[in-house]
Every structure is written in structure tokens, then in C-alpha cells.
Amino acid sequence: MLLDKLLYVVNKRYMMKSLRIAISLLIVVFTSYAINAQDFDRPNGFGGQLLLIDHASFEEGQDFGFGGLTTGFEFSYSRHLNKFISLRVPFKGGLLSSGEFDFAKNRSFIGLDLTVQATYFGNESPVAPFVYAGFGGTKEEGVDMYQQIPVGAGANFRIGKWGFFQVKAEYRSDLNNDLPRKNMQYGLGLVAIVGPTLTTKEIEKMLSDTDGDGIDDDKDRCPNIAGRKQFGGCLDSDNDGIGDADDSCPDVIGLKALNGCPDSDADGVADIVDDCPNTVGTANGCPDADQDGVADAKDKCPDLPGTAGFGGCPEAPASDVVSVTTTDKMEDENVTLDATIKEDTNDMTSKGAKGLMVDSDGDSFSDADDECPNTAGTVNGCPDSDGDGFADRFDACPNSMGSLAGCPDSDDDGIADYKDTCPNAKGTSLNNGCPEITNTAPVIVNRAPARTDYTNYNTNTRLVPESAMTLMSDATKRVQFKVLSNDLTADSYDVLNQVVNLMISNPQYQLKVSGHTDDRGQDTVNQRLSEKRARECIRYLRERGVPENQMSYIGFGARFPVAENESEYGRSQNRRVDFQLFLMN
């Protein structure tokens, strides 16, 4: 007797553990199904329950109690005829108790019923009580199939838009007096109401609308992002009434007149391209008192209209142009004039306002407009050794004429030859400059051997250490900017400081910083932003000790993406600043 009771306790604990596991699994399955369901008419329902079966209490000589409870399961399908009435087909299985504590004598069974269910308040109510009755058949181990009449009641408790937690109690009467099989069944489980099978027309509609926003792909300006019809199928991320496809500043509320960008100082110049975003001005957003197009901060004659070539001062007659050269041995940094003039050189600045142009290196560019005032040059006053229109300081290939950032691009595929694995066959950046391989006829190209060095194209063959190139790649990935700004984020400082240490320790290195954007917004805005971000990196490095003649920068706007611009992930890859390291001659 003691052993029988022990087995009963063990089975009861096992039964409760099974109940908890079954309920957890059902909640996950049915809640997920309900949450992801679409909102249209749903006539079908599926349910799953764990059953507690009391058969022993109805056998002669047995008292009602939990000593003879056994477990079972039920899976059901229901078809709703209207809001209140439904047909239900439950399939059951489990064990029937022998009425003793000896579980080895329990008998397995399966059964199938057909019932009619009436639901009070309808399935739209948070709590929906119901009653049901019907007819069923049961096949018990060692016994022929027999008929029963199930009658029950219960309630559905809403746990999701189309999901319910269900409890019920059912009495099953038998129709065979020779083999009494009356029992009570208590159910605990979940029900989900699902929709009808999609028609061919509905399937075709889904296939023609990739993002499911109700706008066909051929009319959807953002076919992979669910958006609103008023924005052509795109989102309006900043809620400024301008769809992201037309918004140059999609993450910040802005003005329609400025393509969705803000204008903090209300001067008509968007903050993203305003050199003085908090001060009203007309020269790239900065004050310009004499309205000559040169901002006051850069204007040597802020009260007299002039030209940029003369630093904002009026143009000078040719006879007044003074060429100035420096002498290495001059201790006090005085200058020697090549031409004799009547005015005292101490008045040079003031004479500028009267038309005097100072040109220290004699290259016909005034010092005010000469980016290399101490070195004669032809491109904004800077040298251009290969004569390709790119100043050497910005030319990635200063000794080889080219149109791509100063480098040759023989196959005109937008990838410089020194980076192009197939320089004589047009390809893509994703395939290192080689043609994409397709399943059609093979493309045969004259593939050049892969380059293992990162030296200046056709000028040097010495190798840059792999550790240095790894740092450049790391900097490209980690340098970040605040939204719609050229301000560096704090997360960028660590890797930039590593670049500082590398450049100071290796004066033979030349660093080129290239700014890039995604394709959203106007080309002019993207070009300015890419230049400003690249220049900001150079400023950070210079202020921490890297010599300026070791660095150069350039902005490319959205011209050279490294990923597609159709998704946010692709656009985030294209918004970058590339760090390239070369060995100086």
C-alpha cells in the first residue's frame, strides 16, 4: 500500500510538470500566430488542450476524488457559422483510470467528436462563456469502439487579437449500458482564430507588393520599406511631412523649401551646408557685410566689395601686383620684394584695400586665395605634377595622370587601376573591379595579379605593414558623426588617436581621407557634407600633432557607394570616411 501511494504522488507531480510545459508551449505557439495574423474575417479556429480525466469516480464502489485522475490531450478544429454558433471537431487521446492506484492497469484511448457550440457575447468579447453538446466515438485499448454524448461548458479569455486562453469541463455519457464508460474531462489550453485560404488574386497582389504596404512595387518609390501612400510608399521618419525619398535630412524635422532640412538661423541656408548654422548670413550661411560673396571671417576687406581671388578686396591693376619671396636665412622672417614699390611694406595689408595683391610664391594666385602660398602651383596655387587638374596634395596618384581622384581608370568603371583587379575590363566594386560572374556565357578577362601593397600607384613598391593597413580599415568602420553634422562622436576619438600615433611615428606615411554619403538628398548637399566630414578628420589629426603636409582630404558625395542604397543597412555602409595610407617618395 505504501508503494502504491508513492507511485501516485510521483505520477501526480509528473502530471503537473507536464501540464506546465504543455501550457507554456501552447502559449508561445498560439500567441505568436495570433500576433502575426492579418485583420480580416476569420471563420476557422484551431485549439490545443491538456485534459484531466476522471473516470474512476463513475465506476461502482468508487468515491469522487482526484486519486484516479489521468491525463490526456485534445486538438480541435472549429468552423464559425456566425458570431455566436460554431461547429467543432475535437480529436482526443489519453489514459482512462482503472479505478486503482496501479497505473500499469490504466487503459489508453482515442476519440473523435462532432459538437455544436454556442458562445455568449461572441468571440469579440474579452471573456466569452460557451456551452456545447454533440456526439462522438471512442476506441479504448482492448475494447471495441463505443458511442458517447459529450456535454460541456467553459470560457475563452482573450490574450491577443485572435488568441484565447480556454478552460472547460465536459461530462461524457455513454450509450452502452453493458459497458459503462461515463467520465468527466477538464480542459486547459489555447485557441487561435485564423483566416481563410488566400485566393490566386490575393497571392498575386502580395507578390507584386514586396513590402506589403498596399502599393505595387512598380509604383512604390520605396518597394522594400512599408510606407504611406501620400509619400509614394516611403516613410516619413522625422514626421515633417516630407517623405524620406525627397528628404535630404530624413532623421531631423526640417523645412519643405530646404528639402526637409532644418535652418536654425532662418537665413535660407540649410544647417547641413551652412558654415555658420547659428548666425544669419548669405555667404554659405555666414555674414557678408559687403555682399561680395566672401564671408566676413575670410574677407580681408569686409567693408569693400571684392573678389575671392583677392581675398575679398577689390582687384588690383597689373602694375600694382607685388611678388614676394622668402629667404631661408632671414632670422626675423622678414621678406624681400622682387619689385620696387613706393609704398612701405608695413602698409601692405592696408594697401590691399586699395588694390595691392600679395603673391608670395609668384604663381599669380594671391596669398589670400592660394592654398599653397609658399609653393608655386597651377591648381588653386598648389603643384600638380602630372597635370591632371588634381593638386598633388589631393592626388592619390600624383605622378600618373588620371580623372578618378587623380588616378587612372583604364576601363572607366569608377575603380582606380591601382585598386582594380581587372583594370582592362569594366567591373563592379563588389567584385574588386572585375565583371560579375553570371550563369550565362563566361566572361574572360585579362585579370591582373592581385596587389598586396598599398603604395602610391606606379610610384613606390615598398610595403606598408599589415598592422597599419588594419588600423586604416578599423578607422573607416569606427569613425562616426552626429546626425546631419560634421561633428565627430566621442566613439571616434580612440581610433583617431591611434592614427595620430601612427602618423607621428612614421613621417614617411601619407594619409588620404575621403568622405562619402548615401544617395538621399541633393548632390550638392551630399558633396558639401562629404567634404566637411573628411576635413573634420584632418582637423582633429592636425590639432594633435600630425603635420599637415602628411595629410590630404577629398569629398566624393554619393558617387562611390560600397553597397546598394535601397535599404537602411546599405545606406549606412555608404555613409563613411575612408582612410587610405600611402608611402611618400
Helical (H) or strand (E) element with 496: helix 493-505
Task: Give DSSP secondary structure letters for 391-453.
Answer: -TTT-SSTTS--SBTTB--TT-SSS-TTT-SSTTS---GGGTTSPPP-SSSPPP--PPPPP--
Domain definitions of the chain by residue range:
2-194, 297-383, 464-583
Question: Residue 358 phi/psi, 5° resolution?
Answer: -100, 125
Is the pTM value of this prediction over 0.85?
no
Report the relative pairing of strands 322-325 and 358-359 from DSSP bridges: parallel
Can you identify the CATH homologous superfamily of domain 464-583?
Answer: OmpA-like domain (3.30.1330.60)
Amino acid 41: pLDDT? 54
Give the DSSP per-residue string, 333-354.
---EESS--SS-GGGHHHHHTT
Q: What angle do CA 73, 79, 82 make, to 5 degrees?
A: 135
Region at 292 (left for phi over 0; alpha for psi -120 to 50; beta for the rest): alpha
> Crossing angle of helices 466-478/493-505, nearest 10°?
150
Q: Residue 243 and residue 259: Cα distance in Å, rounded?
A: 10
Q: Is 87 helix (H, G, I), strand (E, B) or coil?
A: strand
Please choose, from the candidates 546, 582, 561, 295, the residue with its C-alpha nearest in 3D space to the C-alpha of residue 429.
Answer: 561
Q: Given this model, what pLDDT does residue 439 score? A: 36
Q: What pLDDT, on the 0 to 100 scale, is given for residue 319? A: 43
Q: What is the pLDDT of residue 123?
A: 54
- Cα 371 from Cα 359, distance rounded (Å): 12
**Is-contact 82 119, C-beta < 8 A?**
no
Residue 34: per-residue pLDDT: 34
| C-alpha cell of residue 189 | 489550453
pLDDT at 82: 79
Q: Is 19 helix (H, G, I), strand (E, B) or coil?
A: helix
Residue among 5, 111, 106 nearest 56 (CA): 106
342: which 3 cell numbers? 613706393
CATH architecture of the domain with range 2-194? Beta Barrel (2.40)
3-state secondary structure of 93: strand
Mean pLDDT by 10 residues, the chain (585 residues): 40 46 43 34 84 78 61 92 88 77 69 92 75 93 87 91 90 76 90 66 64 82 85 87 86 86 88 88 88 86 82 62 40 37 38 57 83 88 88 81 83 78 74 56 31 34 73 90 80 92 91 90 85 92 92 90 84 88 73
208 and 217 in contact (C-beta within 8 Å)?
A: yes
Q: Is the dihedral of CA 292, 296, 298, 299 positive or negative?
A: positive
Angle formed by the axes of helices 523-543 and 493-505, to 10°? Answer: 60
- According to the model, what pLDDT value does residue 60 have? 58
Residue 318 has a CB neighbour count (10 Å cut-off) of: 7
What are phi and psi for residue 48, nearest 5 degrees?
Answer: -145, 135
Please give the pLDDT value at position 381: 87
- For the CA atoms of 383, 385, 389, 394, the dihedral, rounded to the nearest 10 degrees, stands at -70
Question: What is the dihedral angle through the alpha carbons of 561, 562, 564, 569, rounded to the nearest 10 degrees?
Answer: -110
C-alpha cell at 424: 582592362
Torsions phi, psi for 584 (to 5 deg): -75, 150
Q: What is the pLDDT of residue 334?
A: 38
